[in-house]
Amino acid sequence: MKSKVKYIALFLLVMVCTFSFSGCSKLFAPSDEEIIKTISGLFKGGYGELTLQSPIVVLEKGRRNKDGSWPVKVKVVFTSFVNKEKISSPTEQTLSFNFFKAKDSSGKTIWKAEPGQ
């Protein structure tokens, strides 16, 4: 009788941990390295007249949204072209992105960033 109670209690403990880790935990959030790599790829070659400068600093990772995205705030530094020969002074900005898991053309799972709020 006692052994059955132990097994039932162990099973319930495993179930509670599984549900809490899968829904509420930051265990499955993108790492800082993945965030920096994704944002660098997003601005690769410049974005319009903006050029992203190093370093990208991850300020805050939020909890997972209902749609499955992870909100992230980053601090970036941009320069822009004033004219063809002159570049502006660096401008620091805080941007928000929502990170989703997606599959690339080869079927590999990657992180995809979209502008957030």
CB-hemisphere CA count at 13 Å for 74?
A: 30
Task: Look up residue 92 and give its two tokens.
Answer: 């620091």
Return the DSSP state at 87.
B
Looking up tokens 């265990």, which residue turns up? 27
pLDDT 10s digit of each residue in the chain, 117 long? 667 777 777 767 776 666 555 555 456 888 999 999 988 888 776 666 677 888 889 999 999 889 888 999 999 998 887 777 788 888 899 999 999 998 888 989 889 988 877
pTM tops 0.95: no
